[in-house]
Structure 1
Amino acid sequence: MLIRLLNVALSILLAYALQEGRNSQSVDIDGYEQFTNQSLFWAPYRSNCYFGIRPRYVNDHPFMFGLMWMDSTHLEAMNKLRHLVDQNDKLDKYGWEVYDPRIGGKQTILDLDNNVNLTIYYFKSRDGANWGARIRGEPIDSQKLSTTSLVLYMNQNGGRENSHLVRSEPDSYGSENIKLRGLAPEMGEYDISINDLSGLYYSKGAPLHPDLDSSKTAHMSLTVPDDQVWIARDILQTLVGESIQTITSSSNKIDPVSFPSVFTIRNMHDFPPGNFHFIQKTFDLDKPFEFDIIFNNKASKQQIKSSSEFSAMIEWGLNEINNRFDNKFHIQHPEHKKFAQETLSNLMGGIGYFYGTQLVDRTTEFDDEQFEKIELSHPEEEGPLQLFSCVPSRAFFPRGFYWDEGFHLLQVMEYDFDLAFEIMQSWFELIEEDSGWVARELILGNEARSKVPEEFRVQNPNIANPPTLLLAFSEMLSRALAEQDDHNSQGEELNTFPFSTEELERQPDLLIVRAKKIFPKLLKHYDWFTNSQRGMVEEYVDYVDEKVHPMEAFRWIGRTFTHCLPSGMDDYPRAQPPDVAELHVDTLAWVGVMTRSMRKIAAVLSLKEEEEKFAAIEKNVIENLDILHWNPDDNCYCDITIDDESEDVREFVCHQGYISLLPFALKLMTPDSPKLKYLVDLMSDSDKLFTGFGLASLSKQDEYFETGEVYWRGPVWININYLCLDALVYYFQENECTDMETLGKARSLYSSLRENIISNMYRVWAHDGFVYENYNHRTGNGTGVRHFTGWSALVVNIIGRLPEQLY
């Protein structure tokens, strides 16, 4: 889909018209969508780069930008060249301190090995058409001899017929300030200027070649295929490596003081100019440096005309984002506020736009009775597809995850409701028209595949994941419906955009238009999920006291003896040995969430027949949770399997932990259920799940506790803890039907659990500077992937949105 930048005059007129009439009539749908496209057009959408910019929904001729850096005073400089985010770089810190994808933000990078503290400011003009980046650097250790050699690269994709990117002034070597001009069908004409503000170029030692002078800005233009722009680091290493070989072959010894010049890029092969540009600046860290990169679209009337104007944009943007955060999250503790804002900023700073093909195996057949690892050995490229998505971790998981994304959106929607819907809609658009399937991981193109082990690159339409997107959608619909009669319940949003970022929540007409477009695909998706994961109940029917609803029983297809990857809780204990007739309580619970969401959408669209159908299914799901999966002996929900040697035949597979809690956590129990007390007891029991850092994933008394990978067999995961806290609010904040003993225990549990999670995550962040994938259940220390600001960012909701205690 091609998106042209809109004429600013139209935006001004549209904004004026809206402000005049927003209280008397519904929002202009076309105008709202134009605003959304404009305000989200540019951003650092290359999630896997430390700093990489591209436009959203421009697929044929996107402009691509990236940043690399190194300390070129050492022979091993190229080995420490930073580009794609990598845990092995072991940076002391990297990430956004403040960020809003509609405005911009500030990112800090502490690279001890390269002895540089980088600060990157990125902000956009109000019309969304133009942007600037200010790169500032200073030494971490001022006594250490070092440089920061920064390499910017940019490419105007699409070849030279319909697009180009060329240097504006004569291509004279060594000009400190560089200007380029570009053209692309989707963006029109644009200019780029790179201007120094301060700093000293490295000038020690004599250049070994006229084109190898680190005391000047180096520029090189060449042609790079569009699908290889992302390997700019490899290209740079190859070009510089060849240059070094030529130098060393003609010189016996190179004075170390000249190393920075040796690592300067040059066009030794006389490549003709192309759309790809390297621009290298090597600063002596005896003094801090600062320079700007400014992009201006010629059709915009809000161009960034100077660095002083950009300075004003930075000041305005930082204040604006801070005010918006304070307006959304009311956090009194200043250090907790800093922690929460940085964590949210890194979640939103990881939002990426992905475009490319995916690998799908539609040939391999699944044998219901085969539980060995399934090899997807018949991949075919399909697409290209496009996705606008958060990522769990820029370093380790820079791609879209279906199971993670719903949790991401539970957080994003609290800051920018409409942004959350925009991301959700992108996922929904990928639901296949004929089958209703969407991949559990969206790994689009070679750039995304480069971060995925080969065994996990191929997707299969038989394998599902928890439909958390429908969980988020259900929450959004509940909020929107509740807001219809009380638009001011969350406080007035700052009126600095022509539209608020809560239009879908405040304007039911707009929500209905969007929901109508989505609903047919969601019907397909619902049918695919329930049909593909439906289990068999015939063996159990004669051995339960109540009537089973045979169509509402499910299991995860694709589990093995050791793992159930489709469930999302990979190594959580399941029935041993596996059986084709086993039924999984969490699969049924997630179907309940899907069904509830479909019922709410049908209600919004006034589809009475569909609403009644899904209401009946939802009722059946809730009843089956109790009929099939409640174990009165262990007083919790359990998977079930077949035991041919038992009179009962049905065997409960009880491993008390997150799966036991999901019907509660997903709010599928009735508020007056007598079973609530047992789950409160389970969560409160320090001999089982309760720890000083959150709820452990598996009971300490379980035989599988701390065995195998110890992934979902002990550690504290914030996504499930958040659901449990939110469910405690739902069931016990204003519940007068529960017995007083359970009510008191639930409120005590809530207060201590909330406090334990906040204090521990803050402690780890204050010490390490990062949020983690999960937390050790014994020490509270971060474990798993570092800088995991995916669903762990839900701590921001825990601090700033959930009440401090239940009343």
Structure 2
Amino acid sequence: MGRRRKRVATGDGVPSPRKEEKAPAPPRKEKKKKTDIGKVFINISIGLCIFSLIWFFYALYMRSSLARRVVTLHPSPRVLDANSSSPAVSPERYWGSYRPQVYFGMKTRSPRSVVTGLMWMHQFAEMDGNLRHTCEQGDHLLGYGWLMHDGVSFGVQEIHDRDFTLTTEFVKRMGGDHGGDWTWRITAKQHGTALSTPVVSLMFYASTDGQGSLQAHVEEKNRVSSVTGTSEELGNFKITFGKPTAGEGASAKYARYNFLQTRSPGLDKLTDIVKNSLNHKFIFSPPKGEKRSYFAVDTYKVTNHQNQQNDPKMESDFVVHQVTVQTPFQIEVLFESGSFRERPNQLVGSVLTDELEKRKVAFDEKFEATFGLQAKGFTSSHIKFAKAALSNMLGGMGYFFGPSVVQSVYNEHPVLYPEGPLFTAVPSRSFFPRGFLWDEGFHQLLLSKWDTQLTQEVFAHWLDLINIEGWIPREQILDDEARSKVPSEFIVQHNENANPPTLFLALQELLEQLDAELVSSQTMLPFLRKLYPRLQVWFEWFNTTQVGPVPNSYRWRGRDKDTNLFLNPKTLTSGLDDYPRASHPSADERHVDLYCWMTLASGVMANVARILGEPHQVYENTHRSLSNNDLLNELHWSENLHAFSDYGNHTQAVSLQQEKVFVPPGQPRHQFPVARLVRSVRRAPKLQYVNALGYVSLFPFLLHILTPDSPKIEHILQAIKDPERLWTPYGLRSLSRADPLYMKRNTEHDAPYWRGPIWININYLAVRALHHYGSIEGPYKEKAATLYQELRTNLMNNVYKQYLETGYIWEQYNDSTGRGQGSHPFTGWSALTVLIMAEKY
């Protein structure tokens, strides 16, 4: 049935006119729009640009943020309050001999202290102009150092120059608001071997350090009777110079006087200023002697280029009082604080003598009570030596303030660390008059026996330098004076580099004193509570940045990368600079000494956490894992060597050879580079044990990680006792005589350092370990006890003998002759001889 088209009616019901009907058009296909590829590309490009800009600025921000981390201090509360060293909080320690780099001088524990010091010259000597001031090995003194020093209130030092000896003494007296008064007494006596009576010029000086002022008060004949001054930390003060006499109560001797009052651009320039002011026009004319010209300070003007940034505010007042007098003589210098209101008398003459005698008696009594050497039967000469060793460490305490120079991989150039103080002992007044992180742990093993409060302060100063990452700069070079003694290549500290955490050794000692109730828990526990957050982040920094290639292994960062110039690339960060490691530094290395330090540190951390009631399980687990002798053997025991060893990319077929420099025919040789010694590798390295027998091999034994029944102890004791390996009549050598690198130079300029010589810090650990294993039950108890007595005797006898013969305690000792060598005096860790004598471990 067909469908009818429906008609649409109009509004009035009349049909609309009919239109011609057309066939419906077929549906139109919409034309597809062409994609505008150009616009898409532009949009994508814009998006990528925006993303790149965002990423660029984010990367800049992150790099800037990471770059700032190296100089961002840790946010936990400081262990020490900002005013902890102030005279209000610690008046007895405010003034001190805190300038270890000079032969004699004092300053306060404050950022910009007024400093005082002594220079001297031997007039009419063969070498004119022989000015002594900073401790220099090149001065070739017959010996110098503190004979007695209690670390707080007094000290007695002898300085043996060529024809005379200077004795410098000081005593402090508490009173007032700025650390009280002090007096120096300088005594000069000629040697019996002197060909003529020496005439000596003493130059007493005072200098401000950018703040405060000084005024010299000059009498007739150019004699400075006193210097008055003022500074923010000291208020008003007066320094009075006595006249030289032949001794206490004697009349004044003939003397000539000169003075210099000028401005100094820095404390590191004081010696140069005096040298450049010297004039030979002055006449020394004693009543019964010939007239002779002598050197004396005259005039000096600071030039603009010497002044830091030409800023007059940075200049310091500098006053020098010179006294030229014939030996023997005695001179006193008196410092009086303006705030000392009820002074009973002046600390001079017989009053000073009485005070000195009281302090000496108290020192002797405390020394015997602490170390008991007299009770052990040591001679008076041995005891005098031991007192000098301790006193030199105490007299070598320094107070430094300023910024380190540091760098991370995120810094294009070195940057300045935040300014801060550091109160620390120094290894050597002549060569290393600054703070070293791994040395300080050894220093405090001795000082903690003498003065626990001192050790806590030093500990706090070091840990307060930690940054947000948990890193402490390993070498502290904090001011211009310190930097003037350091080669430029060693000044910048890199934040990926560690140093052995020996402070855990000292902390272990403090915890043992706490357990034995030798120190008060009321003072120790608050100290540990403040220290703990910083110890945590320090330990964690080691446990993350120094990890090795396999679980539970560790690797020192910072090895020398230029393998072409070193027989064996150095590892300064380990403290054992040129000790043989893997010949080709790589990320595959495992270092046994660092493994052992971390074992010690984890155990101490667990103990501290337990004492404080803090969660300790993580540290306990780490310590339990690392103490597992099976794991230690798996990672570090070399069956070929029968010793513990490093592991890495190594070959022993290396040597230093003269570099070949091609000189074209007819060309002058001097126009071409000097031939150097470069390393020749005769056999390619491979991953293996390094197999160097020496100090590193002993670390599991030295730090008591081996169980008493470990069969590895037998091999270690055999190596210790073998003269062809480690044993000598003077102590244990650092590297076996059989090792290919024994006593080999590392470069044409670097003599062997840890490749044979005897070092007292490691020998102390060896004696301590032998005492430990010789005192507990085990199959090696008797043998360890016998070796303990022999090694202890050898060390004591040799260090003492060299002190008597040379006047010094030394950095290291020759393994063939026992002679002292290296820097001297070295009364840092070499002073541990006192603990060996006292058997205090």
TM-score tier after normalising by the smaller chain length: 0.7 to 0.9
Aligned pair partner of 1:674 in 697, 711, 724: 711
Q: How far did residue 581 of structure 1 move?
A: 0.8
Whether the 8 Å contact between 2:85 and 2:94 is mirrored in structure 1 is: no
Q: How far did residue 176 of structure 1 move?
A: 5.2
Aligned pair partner of 1:125 in 167, 173, 195: 173
Q: How far did residue 642 of structure 1 move?
A: 5.8
Distance 1:197 1:326 in 2: 36
Partner in structure 2 of residue 47 of structure 1: 100
Q: How far did residue 218 of structure 1 move?
A: 2.6
Partner in structure 2 of residue 521 of structure 1: 534
Give me the TM-score of the superposition, normalised by structure 1: 0.80
Matched, 1:395 2:430: yes
Trace 1:152-551 onto structure 2 (pairs within 5 A): 152-159=204-211, 163-167=212-216, 171-174=218-221, 178-196=225-243, 198-199=245-246, 215-225=255-265, 228-241=266-279, 257-260=291-294, 262-266=295-299, 275-285=317-327, 287-299=328-340, 301=342, 305-307=346-348, 308-331=350-373, 332-333=377-378, 334-363=380-409, 378-432=413-467, 434-483=468-517, 487=518, 505=519, 507-537=520-550, 550=551
Partner in structure 1 of residue 557 of structure 2: 557
Distance 2:126 2:293 in 1: 7
Which residue type is aligned with residue 327 of structure 1? Answer: A
Distance 1:665 1:659 in 2: 9
Q: How far did residue 394 of structure 1 move?
A: 0.2
Q: How far did residue 732 of structure 1 move?
A: 2.1
Which residue type is aligned with residue 164 of structure 1? Answer: S
Greater C-alpha radius of gyration: 2
Partner in structure 2 of residue 788 of structure 1: 826
Distance 2:448 2:705 in 1: 22
Which residue type is aligned with residue 195 of structure 1? Answer: G
Matched, 1:591 2:598: yes
SS of structure 1 residue aligned to 2:740: coil
Q: 1:72 to 1:756 in 2, by over 3 A?
A: same
SS of structure 1 residue aligned to 2:102: coil
SS of structure 2 residue aligned to 1:383: coil
What are the Cα deviations for residues 162-197 of structure 1, in whole angstroms up to 9, with x where unaligned? Answer: x33324x5x334375722333223233322221125
Distance 2:792 2:741 in 1: 27
Q: How far did residue 525 of structure 1 move?
A: 1.3
Distance 1:65 1:186 in 2: 15
Distance 1:301 1:154 in 2: 25
Whether the 8 Å contact between 2:726 and 2:733 is mirrored in structure 1 is: yes
Aligned pair partner of 1:692 in 729, 754, 774: 729
Whether the 8 Å contact between 1:176 and 1:195 is mirrored in structure 2 is: no
Which residue type is aligned with residue 553 of structure 1? Answer: S
Distance 2:589 2:111 in 1: 45
Whether the 8 Å contact between 2:444 and 2:506 is mirrored in structure 1 is: yes
SS of structure 2 residue aligned to 1:97: strand
SS of structure 1 residue aligned to 2:148: strand
Which residue type is aligned with residue 474 of structure 2? Answer: R
Q: 1:634 to 1:351 in 2, by over 3 A?
A: same
Distance 1:643 1:445 in 2: 40
Whether the 8 Å contact between 2:498 and 2:556 is mirrored in structure 1 is: yes
Which residue type is aligned with residue 67 of structure 1? Answer: L
Which residue type is aligned with residue 564 of structure 1? Answer: T
Partner in structure 1 of residue 756 of structure 2: 714
What are the Cα deviations for residues 149-171 of structure 1, in whole angstroms up to 9, with x where unaligned? Answer: 11111023343xxx33324x5x3
Distance 1:605 1:661 in 2: 33
Q: How far did residue 696 of structure 1 move?
A: 1.1
Which stretch of structure 1 is more off in the superposition, 675-684 or 46-55? 675-684
Q: Cα RMSD over matched residues?
A: 2.8
SS of structure 2 residue aligned to 1:787: coil
Aligned pair partner of 1:134 in 169, 185, 189: 185
Whether the 8 Å contact between 2:584 and 2:650 is mirrored in structure 1 is: no
Which residue type is aligned with residue 539 of structure 2? Answer: Y
Distance 1:643 1:756 in 2: 35
Distance 1:704 1:75 in 2: 44
Q: 1:321 to 1:630 in 2, by over 3 A?
A: same
Distance 1:143 1:643 in 2: 60
SS of structure 2 residue aligned to 1:625: helix
Distance 1:702 1:409 in 2: 33
Q: How far did residue 688 of structure 1 move?
A: 1.3
Partner in structure 1 of residue 804 of structure 2: 766
Q: 1:591 to 1:240 in 2, by over 3 A?
A: same
SS of structure 2 residue aligned to 1:772: coil
Whether the 8 Å contact between 2:813 and 2:819 is mirrored in structure 1 is: yes
Which stretch of structure 1 is more off in the superposition, 292-301 or 187-196? 292-301
Which residue type is aligned with residue 220 of structure 1? Answer: L
Whether the 8 Å contact between 1:355 and 1:387 is mirrored in structure 2 is: yes
Partner in structure 2 of residue 149 of structure 1: 201
Q: How far did residue 84 of structure 1 move?
A: 0.3
Which residue type is aligned with residue 381 of structure 1? Answer: L
What are the Cα deviations for residues 281-334 of structure 1, in whole angstroms up to 9, with x where unaligned? Answer: 11123x433333333352364566141222211111111111111111111322
Whether the 8 Å contact between 2:183 and 2:332 is mirrored in structure 1 is: no
Which 5+ residue runs of structure 1 have no aligned equivalent?
8-33, 201-213, 249-254, 366-376, 488-504, 538-549
Whether the 8 Å contact between 2:274 and 2:297 is mirrored in structure 1 is: no
Q: How far did residue 91 of structure 1 move?
A: 0.2
SS of structure 1 residue aligned to 2:586: coil
Q: 1:291 to 1:142 in 2, by over 3 A?
A: farther
Distance 1:722 1:769 in 2: 22
Partner in structure 1 of residue 67 of structure 2: none
Aligned pair partner of 2:135 in 85, 92, 98: 85
Whether the 8 Å contact between 1:294 and 1:304 is mirrored in structure 2 is: no
Which 5+ residue runs of structure 2 have no aligned equivalent?
1-81, 248-253, 284-288, 305-311, 652-685, 746-750
Q: 1:304 to 1:389 in 2, by over 3 A?
A: farther
Q: How far did residue 783 of structure 1 move?
A: 1.5
Q: How far did residue 94 of structure 1 move?
A: 0.8
Which residue type is aligned with residue 439 of structure 1? Answer: P
SS of structure 2 residue aligned to 1:183: strand
Q: How far did residue 653 of structure 1 move?
A: 1.9
Aligned pair partner of 1:604 in 592, 608, 611: 611
Distance 1:456 1:5 in 2: 32
